[in-house]
Amino acid sequence: MHFKPSFLLVLLAVSLSACVTQKVETAAVKHKLPEFSWDKMPLYMHLRKSTAFTKKEVEYIAKHPLITFEKTTGSKTYGSTEKGTIKAAEAVKKINPNATILYYKNVVINWGGYAEDEAFLDKHPEALLVDAKGNKAVMPNRKTGFFDISQDYVRKYWLNHVKEVTESPVIDGVFLDANIKVLVPTFFNSRVGKEKQEAIKTGYLSMMADLESQIGTDNLLLANILRVRPEFEDSGREYLKFFDGSYLEGFERGNSGMTYEDYLVKGIEAVQKSAREGNVIAMSLGIGKGLKNAEEGIDDARKKININEDFTERLDYLLAIFLVCAEKYSYVYPHDGYAVGSSAVWLKTFPQYEKKLGAPKGYAKREGYIYTRSFEHLDVWLDIENQTAQLHWK
């Protein structure tokens, strides 16, 4: 069979075009999603430090494939959270260019330390949320206020701010916090009333849709969204359409009159479903007991812990919870708070993190409150009723 030269040229061009398109699509996927491996425990890092990180600290952070720099990062050294986060990200990228680094931005709370927020509010003090009496609505600390995201120009500012920061080549996406405060009526109902709460929620949904459409293709959008709550139809999974995955906190906290184990069963089920659908999971699990302000949602601070035999048992239990949920792009961070200066686990690694894991041999099996799952180099047994676990390394 003979083909004309012109036909062969067209065929070659189409073939090359298809290859280029495939490479571009693959590159886009690789850029957006974090690196992942089953070789060892897939770890997440979530932290804040108001001064610059030391070389030793940067080297430690850079070992993690997925990193969120919290509010206040570098703000004292560099003058703002925006600059501090970018400086920290630059330092990490020099060591590990493949690390996925997320910029922390609250969807509604006006946390201090953001230079652009301060400049915006100097010009537009009315952008802060007030109650029916005209008083500033505040967090439980009675100082920190909220952006009134029911207003178009406030949402526009917020979106432009996030877009500007994510244009930095060292920032790979955004960590979005306080979603649940906006979506659960009781939080803002008690501050500004039901009608305004509904307007805030409507503004939030519009803002998240705009965020996803404007930067979602090239940036990882990770939200603090999955949570077992009676107000949610499906533990927050109904809102994952805006995001690439969910961070998790308060995973054992429980509410709604449910027992600890029933609450955890429902949470595990929600994470399993979401992870199996390809969502990124960043599971934050507290090693120490949560402080009062952590329960109020200001920060996930923990009481001081000692690294001893009880610590090892607790760590095994938390890792077992993660492992019965984990799929590709699932990461875990057992911790005692995000402020590195007060953490007992900061700059430390543990044997469970260094041992070979290997890919899972199937989904977890559940009988009552007991879960089992096998990996290439590990068998997991988890009893959430008695809060114990066994990790059998092969």
Give 278's DSSP letter.
T
CATH number for the domain harbouring residue 181: 3.20.20.70
Q: How far is CA 162 from the centre of its chain?
A: 16
| 62 and 84 Cβ atoms separated by less than 8 Å | no
Residue 15 lies in a domain: no
Domain membership of residue 129 (yes or no) is no
Q: Domain for residue 246, yes or no?
A: yes
> Cα separation of 75 and 90, whole Å?
15
Question: What is the dihedral sign for C-alpha 299, 300, 303, 304?
Answer: negative
Structure tokens at 86: 């970018």
User: Does the residue 272 lie in any domain?
Assistant: yes
Amino acid making up residue 265: V
Query: Is residue 28 domain-resident?
Result: no
Phi, psi angles (nearest 5°) of residue 100? -95, 120
Domain that holds residue 321: 34-108+150-352
pLDDT in tens, the chain (394 residues): 444 444 434 444 444 344 433 333 333 444 589 999 999 999 999 999 999 999 999 999 999 999 999 999 999 999 999 999 999 999 999 999 999 999 999 999 999 999 999 999 999 999 999 998 899 999 998 899 999 999 999 999 999 999 999 999 999 999 999 999 999 999 999 999 999 999 999 999 999 999 999 999 999 999 999 999 999 999 999 999 999 999 999 899 876 689 999 999 999 999 999 999 999 999 999 886 655 555 444 556 666 666 776 889 999 999 999 999 999 999 999 998 888 888 889 999 999 999 999 999 999 999 999 999 999 999 999 999 999 999 999 9
> pTM for the full model?
0.90
Within a domain: 263: yes
Judge whether 335 and 299 are in contact, CB under 8 Å.
Answer: no
- Report DSSP letters for 336-360, one per residue: S-SBGGG-SSTT---HHHHS----B
Give the total number of structural domains in the chain.
Answer: 1
| Interatomic CA distance for residues 181 and 249, integer angstroms | 14
CA 152 to chain centre: 26
Does residue 115 lie in a domain region? no
Domain membership flag for residue 65: yes
